[in-house]
Amino acid sequence: MVNTQLILQLNEVGIKDVTLVGGKNASLGEMTKHLQPLGINIPDGFATTAEAFRSFLKENNLVAPLNELIHSLDQKEYSNLNAVSKAAKDLLLNAKLPKALVDDITSNYASLCKKFGRQLDVAVRSSATAEDLPTASFAGQHESFLNINGIENVLKAVHQCFASLYNARAIKYRIDNGFDHSKVALSAGIQLMVRSDKSSSGVCFTIEPDSGFKNAIIITGCWGLGENIVQGAVTPDEFHVFKPSIGKFPKAIISKKLGSKTKTLVYQPDGSGTINIETPIEKQKQWTLSNPEIETIAKWALMIEEHYKMPMDIEWAKDGISNQLFIVQARPETVHSLKDPYLVKEYTLKQKGSTLVIGNAVGTGIASGVARLINSPADSDKLKQGEILVTDITNPDWDPILKKAAAIITNKGGRTSHAAIVAREVGAIAIVGANGATDKIKDGDLITVDTSQGKNGYVYSGKAEWTEKNLDFRNMIMPQTKPMLILADPDKSYKLSFYPNQGVGLMRLEFVINNTIKIHPMALVKFNELKDENAKKEIEALTYQYSDKKEYFIDKLSQAIGTIAAAFYPKEVIVRMSDFKTNEYANLLGGKQFEQEEENPMIGFRGASRYYNDRYKEGFKLECEAIKVVRNQMGLTNVKMMIPFCRTVEEGKKVMALMGEYSLKRGENGLEVYVMAEIPSNVILAEEFAKVFDGFSIGSNDLTQLTLGIDRDSNIISDLFDENNKAVKYMIAHVISAAKISDAKIGLCGQAPSDYPEFADFLVSHGIDSISYNPDALIRGIENMNKAEKDLI
């Protein structure tokens, strides 16, 4: 039976009512009806129905002329798309809303105002009856009007929403997605306005939008109205929350990245629309959400996902008057949830030009082409198929042009901006928030866009050389010996979690300390005693959010470890505590004051020797505090510890005793502690070391150098460095045997088993438990392990 009602309250509709009130309003109704009672705040409101829109067309005799206009559209070149759109919208805007509809909107707006005791500001949003389906999002195709006050303005906004069904971008979108124009209707949702102009707002995904990783909730936030995030006008804050820890552990937030948020979109004081104002510097440096607020949004997002039983794309807003958080929209995530993350294309960059700009990577790939600088979608004819679009920001008016681009580069925006979302939808790669791109890249330049290296995307001058390989992980045969990964960069962990693996056999902390933290731990412990004033200023600038400088180190390191641990959870992630040498530590900010020059740092003050020494003891404590945050507060007990370069059994006992003082006791809460087997003493006394530690990881590089007496940094004798040398293999075979006798776990981290099938044969035949590989060597390594196990049988 056809529903003839012109208005429905949001709590009267649900997700099955897309044909009545469109996807957006049906979803809001579903949440109002089923999730608001569970504590999720949804703004109150009502919606016009598809019947209301059809009665509007019918009363004004618009059906036939609209069909004629659409029939006249050039569907090859779309040369008259804008003209057809304007004519159609003019038809609708010059028509009158039916009296019955005007009366219904008027009485429902009055009832809403009465309920809240004042004349309300409302949001009037378009909701098409074919939108937000799992195969097509329609996001941003139609108009929304915010901060609307008074019935005359509400009626005008509803009328404009109706007309926006024939926006040029909406017409093109329907054609691209196979929708019959005459069967799509427009519903307008009239909702209590959340005054995020006085606070903050943003977007939330319940699936990581680039890798398809499902165990993290990604939240972005900016000051003011969320349109700045959608349009890509700002680089927002970004927060990652680990789903399994929500509500179960004190700290489900595994990563926080501060965005610049240079603009704040607010309402004009006279009510005539919105204006983008400069965000004060001190506010740019503040988080848009507190930790409890991040956790609240994540908890709500998880509830929404569980209710809909699919990954969701959600909009949130914080009211600056009441300080309450609200969910203002939720739709199915339409890109990664439909892809198979186990089908991967792997890119290897062989040769590249100079780096022009760096920004946020969207998608994974490399593309080369001519750069085309375009300021407006009106100049879309300038972009030829396969060229690279370079612009400041984009909005939904750009959609038709974006589909021609081999890659998209924008000055502004985050990974949930409009350009990023459309790039994912059309299968293009993008770099958003590439500050200065339109200045540093010239129109007509030949450039290469690389988004294959994790979160950062790079633009290189000229045409780079690279190789591509298609990988299918779905049916890969896994060996009995555990294949594990060697990792250092948290930004790559979500994507790499889909590779065939049994966890992370070696996470190196040095990469994070060097690239993210950048400061010598002791320079944070003894900040007030620093003599280098320049270093002090730089450290002050990096740590301005932390009154206790030590917390900066703990926070950044725990987030990096937590991200990798979450990506591979519940598989084990073995974290090797810091193993810088003195010359490398000295290069960190403030480091020179705390390091002595050594003749041979390779065999000097490194590894375990540092941890209990007064020169570094307090620095090691910071590393231990980060591990405690990850294991005890984030709930990631899959993290194990590994002690590098431990020369003697007594030294091992000292480190374990110190860790006990720092509340990290082996065996408590399932904590396992491994030791690197990389010094001949580790091999000779392996059974003694096995009484102190849970297992070994053979560091083949250091073991080879110290067995053969070779400085691997020396070019003169580098050709003598060989893991296949009989003496090295003897040492490896011996330590594997000793580990087996002691019932201790043993693995190896290194390149040799992937480079040399016979080396994998050797390790497997001696019964090693696991072999860890760099990501680019993993597949070849697994093939070698399978072959070795087959040969053994």
**Residues with a known catalytic role:** 418, 749
> Cα separation of 776 and 554, whole Å?
30
Q: Which amino acid is at 153?
A: N
Determine how β-strand 366-373 pairs with β-strand 355-362.
unpaired
CA 296 – CA 455 distance, rounded (Å) = 26
Q: Can you tell me whether residue 521 is helix, strand or coil?
A: helix
Instruction: Name every residue whose Cβ is closer than 8 Å to that of residue 662 and which is 6 or more positions away in sequence.
Output: 621, 624, 625, 628
CA distance 537 to 207: 39
CA gap 411, 431 in Å, rounded:
9
Helix (H) or strand (E) holding 650: helix 649-661
- Per-residue 3-state assignment (H helix, E strand, C coil) for 280-328: CHHHHCCCCCCHHHHHHHHHHHHHHHHHHCCCEEEEEEECCCCCCEEEE
Query: Residue 639 to residues 559, 630, 642, 657: CA-CA distances in angstroms?
Result: 13, 8, 10, 19
Total count of residues recorded for the chain: 793
CA distance 745 to 527: 40
Q: Are 15 and 30 in contact (CB under 8 A)?
A: yes
- Residue 97 phi/psi, 5° resolution? -70, 140
β-pairing verdict for 745-749 and 770-773: parallel
Residues 558 and 250: beta-carbon distance below 8 Å? no
Q: CB burial class (10 A; 0-12, 13-18, 19+) of residue 204? A: buried
Q: Which of 635, 632, 654, 633 is nearest to 643 (CA)?
A: 654
Q: How far apart are CA 205 and CA 203, in angstroms?
A: 7
Q: Where are the alpha helices (DSSP H) in 60-134?
A: 63-71, 81-93, 99-116
Q: Which helix (H) or strand (E) holds 766?
A: none
Q: Which residue has the tokens 């450039």?
A: 447
CA–CA gap between residue 347 and residue 136 (Å, rounded): 29
Question: Across the chain, which distance is largest between two alpha carbons, in Å?
Answer: 94
Question: What is the β-pairing status of strands 186-192 and 200-205?
Answer: unpaired
Q: Distance between CA atoms of 305 and 295, rounded to whole angstroms? A: 15
Token pair of 656, please?
A: 């374990």
The strand pairing partners of 58, in sequence order, are none
> How many secondary structure helices (H) and strands (E) does the chain include?
29, 30
750 membership: H or E segment, kind and range: none
Q: Which residue has the tokens 């552990």?
A: 249
Q: Which two tokens stand for residue 366?
A: 């490399």
Q: How far is CA 391 from CA 12, 237, 440, in A?
A: 44, 22, 12
- C-alpha to C-alpha distance for 506 and 510, rounded to whole angstroms: 12
Q: Where are the alpha helices (DSSP H) in 662-725?
A: 680-684, 686-689, 700-708
> Cα 684 to chain center, whole Å?
45
Provide the 3-class DSSP secondary structure of residue 465. Answer: strand
Helix (H) or strand (E) holding 221: strand 216-223
Strand partners, 469: 346
